[in-house]
Chain A
Amino acid sequence: MNFDVRLVLEVIGMLLYATFMGFIFMGIERKAMARIQRRVGPPIYQPIIDTLKLLGKKESISHGFIYDFGPIFALGASITALLFLPLANFQLFSSNADLIVVAYLLEVPMLGIMLGAMSSGNPYSALGVQRGLLTMVAMQLPYGLAIIAIVQHFGTFKLGEIVALQQVHGWSILVPALLLAMIVFDIVFQAMIGLEPFDIITAPAEISMGPMLEYGGKQAAILFTQHAVQLFAETAFFAILFLGGASNLLELLIKQIAVLFIAIFVASIYPRFTIDQAAKFFWKWPTIIGIIAVLLTV
């Protein structure tokens, strides 16, 4: 068995880059929100400072093994999802159906957080978990429809081939059916990264922080890192599916930031849905648009 040093270095470099850029994306999110509200806002590297501070806490509590394992499980799932994505010319894992693998690996972190949160025994965490699972159930249908539309149009499950086909025939949002699928995916995306109309899981000032309530110190720092990697992976997934992928990291970065800004603008003007409104909404408009998109691609 030969040990490929270059590949290992590439993986480590990609992970460091993704984590760093994820933190910067979180910073951009806070800064842009602040600018929209006519505030100065925190510096763009603020999430890195927050994570450092959480790592520097001198005390940490534990509610048992599962409580500690939850955040690590979530971080591991995010990192695995990242390694399946064709970022520029780097893709570590590739299989015949990596679209499905990535689509579901991006949902696993939420389960990991919930696993940990449920074992903390806090009633607010339990409420947050309940809301999170309901949101996941609600968004599965439109999410699945958007992905079915993509697969029907390109006729492949391989992300690498989807990117290659888009580079030959133009971005997928230029196809009317896939434009509809993009709208559906964008609505689901808002819920996946936990931004405003669908931030029912960690509703601050309503159920405190939901699942994250009991986490503090090092576990919270892991959750912050996980969120950074997750944000990077999800924006990259969006760019790969609908915006034509990227041939270098700069191009990818520009597309990711464009996706992120759409999410931020939507988040900063809409108030929060209650859980029943969110479920009704997901099963009504995105589902209808998704079904139309799927029918158009047949």
Chain B
Amino acid sequence: MSEKKNDDFISYELQEFKLFEPLFRWARKKSLWIVAFCTGCGGIEMPPLATARYDFERFGIMPNPAPRMGDLFLITGYVTPKTLKRIIITYELMQDPKYIMIHGSCPINGGVYWDSYNVVKQFDKYLPVDVAIAGCMPRAEAVMDGIMEIMRKIEDGTADSWKRYRENYEYYRKNQDELFGEGWREKEARRWLAWI
């Protein structure tokens, strides 16, 4: 059943490696590296998860400062347009397969910033999301539960946000351009790398 569901999506892997896919899925599930980019107020929920009490390293989860090696992108709180630019650039630096988990009410529907002019109300208009944890703020147990959920989704192949980003790139690109204006990537790049 789950196999059939996966065939509906575009397959990016070579047919020869189909045989090893269960092995790689197991490896992906057991070794999620978090991109250490903590936005908003949920970043403070990470230390209790990493330290002796909840210890997410026993599931192979490791905070990784390099986005190229990262797998799991945590959006831990409200997202402003300025942060969203960085989030999108970091997300596109990461290599497939990559997963996004959002914490708290703010990225889902704005939360307490529902009438703020400078907060992104609905995060999944700009980037695809695998798991969303509601709450303000979700406690460490809830975050752990979200991580368990994403591990389960990776194993049965339904954590497919990276595929959705490729398939619906036009849609996401349109929404991003609506928010930041056309050509924002080039403008941002030129701010930091003046020589290009």
Contacts and interface: CB of A to CB of B under 8 A. Distances in A.
B36 interface: yes
Interface in A16-70: 30, 34, 37-43, 46, 49-50, 52-61
Contact of A220 (B20, B28, B60, B69): B69
A212 B24 contact: no
B52 A39 contact: yes
A208 interface: yes
Interface string B169-180: 000000000000
B65 A204 contact: yes
B189 interface: no
Contacts of B20: 56
Contact of A49 (B31, B64, B95): B31
Given A56-B24, A215-B68, A39 B58 contact: yes
B130 interface: no
A53 B94 CA distance: 14
B58 A216 contact: no
Contacts of B60: 42-43, 46, 49-50
A217 B67 CA distance: 11
B55 interface: yes
A126 interface: no
A43 B60 CA distance: 8
B7 to A, nearest CB: 16
A214 interface: yes
A39 B62 CA distance: 13
Contacts of A54: 69
B66 interface: yes
Nearest to B71: A53
B68 A40 contact: no
Size range of the interface on A?
Answer: 20 to 34
Contacts of A57: 95-97
Contacts of B58: 34, 39-43
A47 to B, nearest CB: 9
A241 to B, nearest CB: 33
Contacts of A209: 64-66, 69
A60 B31 contact: no
Contact of A60 (B12, B28, B95): B95
A212 B66 contact: yes
Contacts of A208: 65-66
A99 B34 CA distance: 42
Interface string A193-208: 0000000000011001
Interface in B20-48: 20, 23-24, 26-28, 30-31, 33, 36
Interface in B174-194: none
Contacts of B94: 216
B57 interface: yes
Given A39-B51, A39-B57, A49-B60, A217 B95 contact: yes
A220 B68 contact: yes
A257 interface: no
Nearest to A219: B68
Contacts of A49: 26-27, 30-31, 60
A213 interface: yes
Contacts of A56: 20, 23-24, 27-28
A222 to B, nearest CB: 13
A204 B36 CA distance: 10
Given A53-B31, A209-B64, 4 more contacts: A38-B52, A39-B57, A56-B28, A60-B95
27 contacts: A34-B58, A41-B55, A41-B57, A41-B58, A42-B58, A42-B59, A42-B60, A43-B60, A49-B27, A50-B60, A52-B27, A53-B71, A56-B20, A56-B23, A57-B95, A57-B96, A57-B97, A58-B97, A59-B95, A61-B68, A205-B36, A209-B65, A213-B65, A215-B66, A215-B68, A216-B94, A216-B95
Interface of A: 30, 34, 37-43, 46, 49-50, 52-61, 204-205, 208-209, 212-217, 220
Closest 7 CB pairs of A and B: A216-B68, A56-B24, A52-B27, A208-B65, A53-B27, A39-B55, A40-B58
